[in-house]
């Protein structure tokens, strides 16, 4: 969906109706608009605690989509998951309403603020969350919009102090090009590794998009990059040659996190924390204060999130869906498992991603002791008979008896059969696999845990 040539601030959009308001992206924008007194309505396919929370804040929210829901709307905001035949989108188009994609709606609430935009193939949510908490500990009260809920607050967005000219920390998504709409003062890039090629087509085009993102900085803007990652290191070098001010961080060098214990182990999480710390210092905040916030950070939902323990088995859930993310979270989980075994349930996300990276996903899963691969989560794509869970499972370098494929419904029972006291079970993926952990815990608890 095209972004309008002229982007109005949120306060000039009239009544705003969100199609897909329960999603991580739109719900956060709606929450900020409500805090600013904007009249908000919305719809979603299913009810959820997110919808209940928005209703409590004053939004008029419907379950199900109907053209009548936009009767008094002035602006329609549309999720990337919404199709052209959605009745609310069809009605808004017929009436000539202003229609905004998610990126333009986020830009509308950013207007008039000092924006820090956090991008990268992996780690955006965690880095954005860490920076938000660090800035709060350092005396700031930034607005923020994150792709996941902060464990400490249970929300993914807030308007902060609400002051014009105040800080706004935002997760900047590259999957649909959204990050090319924003006007940041500080840009953070943790890594650049090919993904979302259904959108970008080639690795070169994907890489070039990050240069275009950095080019949106003003002349006195700052780019923060973690040079552990070759893609981010190359971006930093190109931008430095172009005269951009670039701040680099690396977990391979002695630094400010020495002696600091983070909420979860793993080099990728330390890289996120270093990037957040560097961005906070660029904004003029004291290192000691920022570190206090980073040390106190308790995580973001679905990022190595502990779900519980039953029958002597601990269960964690994480959002990893790319081979590099899988490898990083398995490194972290292996430390958490200690002397116990690591049992992983992985749900491949998207046909296009699995077609390209399925074998690499399987290779990364080989760091576990037992692996259960669920059926693909299709999301916005149509199924392909040639792209199945077997593409991933067949590449796992473990004995055949330690690898299985199963459906979402049967996954809890399969994991319960494999797990034993002392094990750590990790559910991974960007789709519905997050439902598996609680069901597994119920089975294990029912068995006497």
Confidence of residue 444 (pLDDT cuts 50, 70, 90): very high
Does residue 5 have a pLDDT over 50?
yes
Between 173 and 373, whose confidence is greater? Answer: 373
Same domain, 193 and 257: yes
DSSP H stretches of helix in 242-350: 267-282, 287-296, 323-337
Q: Do residues 207 and 231 lie in contact, with contact meaning Cβ atoms separated by under 8 Å?
A: yes
Does residue 354 have a pLDDT over 80?
yes
Is 162 inside any structural domain? Answer: yes
Task: Summarize pLDDT for 26-42 with one digit per residue, the tens.
Answer: 999 999 999 999 999 99
Same domain, 261 and 244: yes
Average pLDDT over every residue of 413-438:
95
Of the residues 100, 122, 157, the one at which a domain ends: 100
Distances (CA, A) of 438 to 305, 346, 405: 12, 15, 20
The pLDDT of residue 388 is 93
Same domain, 349 and 421: yes
Does residue 356 have a pLDDT over 50?
yes
Between 188 and 381, whose confidence is greater? Answer: 188
Same domain, 249 and 116: yes
Confidence of residue 446 (pLDDT cuts 50, 70, 90): low
3-7, 196-200, 321-325: the lowest-pLDDT one? 196-200
**How far is 107 from 356, CA to CA, in rounded Å?**
32
Number of structural domains the chain divides into? 3
Average pLDDT over every residue of 242-251:
97
Going across the sheet that includes 403-406, the strands are 305-310, 313-318, 424-428, 342-346, 370-374, 403-406
Q: Indicate if 125 belongs to the active site.
A: yes
The pLDDT of residue 82 is 83
Average pLDDT over every residue of 431-446:
92
Q: Indicate if 307 belongs to the active site.
A: no
Average pLDDT over every residue of 204-211:
93
The pLDDT of residue 24 is 85
Same domain, 289 and 320: no
Between 253 and 81, whose confidence is greater? Answer: 253
DSSP H stretches of helix in 57-118: 87-95, 102-110
The pLDDT of residue 254 is 87
- Residues belonging to the binding site for ATP are 120-126
Is 133 inside any structural domain? Answer: yes
- Torsion of Cα atoms, 218 then 221 then 226 then 229, to 10°: 20
The pLDDT of residue 449 is 39
Catalytic residue among 88, 91, 124, 305: 124
Same domain, 39 and 160: no
Of the residues 41, 75, 100, the one at which a domain ends: 100
Q: What token pair was written down for 251? A: 């977990």
Does residue 375 have a pLDDT over 60?
yes
Among 17, 20, 15, 16, which Cα is nearest to 64's?
Answer: 20
Same domain, 333 and 387: yes
**How far is 390 from 396, CA to CA, in rounded Å?**
10
Does residue 377 have a pLDDT over 70?
yes
Going across the sheet that includes 16-19, the strands are 60-63, 40-44, 16-19, 75-78, 98-101
**How far is 255 from 88, CA to CA, in rounded Å?**
52
Does residue 448 have a pLDDT over 50?
no
DSSP H stretches of helix in 310-388: 323-337, 351-365
- Residues belonging to the binding site are 120-126
Kindly report the pTM of this predicted structure: 0.85
Residue 91 domain boundaries: 10-100
Catalytic residue among 50, 75, 125, 434: 125
Task: Summarize pLDDT for 8-18 with one digit per residue, the tens.
Answer: 999 999 999 99
Confidence of residue 200 (pLDDT cuts 50, 70, 90): confident
| Residue with token string 């308007």 | 159
Residues of the chain above pLDDT 70, percent = 99
Same domain, 320 and 390: yes
Residues 6+ apart with CB under 8 A from 241: none
Residues 6+ apart with CB under 8 A from 41: 15, 16, 17, 18, 59, 60, 61, 62, 69, 72, 73
Of the residues 50, 77, 100, the one at which a domain ends: 100
Confidence of residue 241 (pLDDT cuts 50, 70, 90): very high
Between 315 and 193, whose confidence is greater? Answer: 315
Same domain, 265 and 316: no
Question: Rounded mean pLDDT of the chain?
Answer: 93
Same domain, 317 and 417: yes
The pLDDT of residue 301 is 82
Same domain, 132 and 253: yes
Same domain, 277 and 249: yes
């Amino acid at each position: 969906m095209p972004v309008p040539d002229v982007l109005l601030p949120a306060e000039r959009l009239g009544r705003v109706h969100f199609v897909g308001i329960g999603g991580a992206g739109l719900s956060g924008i709606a929450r900020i608009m409500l805090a600013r007194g904007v009249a908000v309505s919305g719809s979603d396919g299913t009810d959820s605690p997110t919808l209940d929370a928005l209703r409590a804040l004053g939004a008029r929210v419907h379950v199900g989509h109907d053209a009548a829901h936009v009767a008094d709307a002035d602006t329609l905001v549309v999720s990337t998951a919404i199709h052209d035949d959605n009745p609310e989108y069809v009605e808004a188009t017929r009436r000539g309403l202003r229609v905004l994609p998610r990126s333009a709606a986020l830009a509308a609430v950013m207007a008039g603020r000092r924006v820090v935009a956090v991008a990268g193939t992996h780690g955006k949510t965690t880095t954005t969350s860490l920076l938000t908490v660090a800035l709060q500990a350092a005396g700031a009260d930034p607005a923020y919009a994150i792709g996941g809920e902060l464990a400490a607050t249970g929300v993914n967005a807030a308007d902060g102090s609400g002051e014009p000219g105040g800080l706004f920390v935002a997760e900047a998504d590259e999957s649909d090009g959204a990050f090319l709409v924003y006007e940041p003062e500080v840009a953070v890039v943790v890594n650049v590794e090919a993904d979302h090629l259904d959108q970008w087509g080639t690795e070169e085009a994907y890489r070039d998009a990050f240069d275009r993102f950095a080019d949106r900085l003003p002349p006195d803007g700052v780019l923060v990059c973690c040079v552990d990652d070759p893609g981010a290191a190359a971006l930093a070098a190109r931008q430095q040659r172009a005269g951009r001010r670039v701040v680099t961080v690396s977990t391979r060098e002695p630094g400010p996190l020495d002696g600091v214990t983070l909420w979860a182990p793993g080099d990728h999480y330390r890289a996120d924390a270093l990037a957040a710390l560097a961005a906070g210092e660029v904004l003029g905040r004291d290192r000691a204060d920022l570190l206090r916030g980073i040390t106190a950070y308790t995580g973001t939902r679905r990022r190595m999130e502990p779900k519980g323990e039953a029958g002597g088995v601990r269960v964690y859930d994480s959002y990893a869906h790319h081979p590099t993310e899988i490898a990083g979270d398995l490194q972290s989980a292996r430390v958490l498992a200690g002397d116990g075994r690591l049992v992983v349930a992985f749900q491949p996300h998207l046909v296009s991603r699995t077609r390209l990276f399925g074998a690499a996903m399987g290779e990364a899963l080989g760091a576990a002791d037992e692996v259960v691969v669920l059926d693909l989560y299709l999301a916005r794509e149509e199924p392909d008979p040639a792209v199945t869970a077997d593409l991933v499972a067949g590449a796992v370098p473990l004995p055949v008896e330690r690898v299985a494929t199963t459906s979402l419904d049967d996954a809890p029972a399969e994991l319960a059969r494999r797990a034993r006291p002392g094990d750590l079970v990790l559910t991974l993926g960007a789709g519905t696999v997050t439902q598996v952990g609680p069901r597994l815990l119920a089975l294990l608890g029912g068995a006497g845990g």
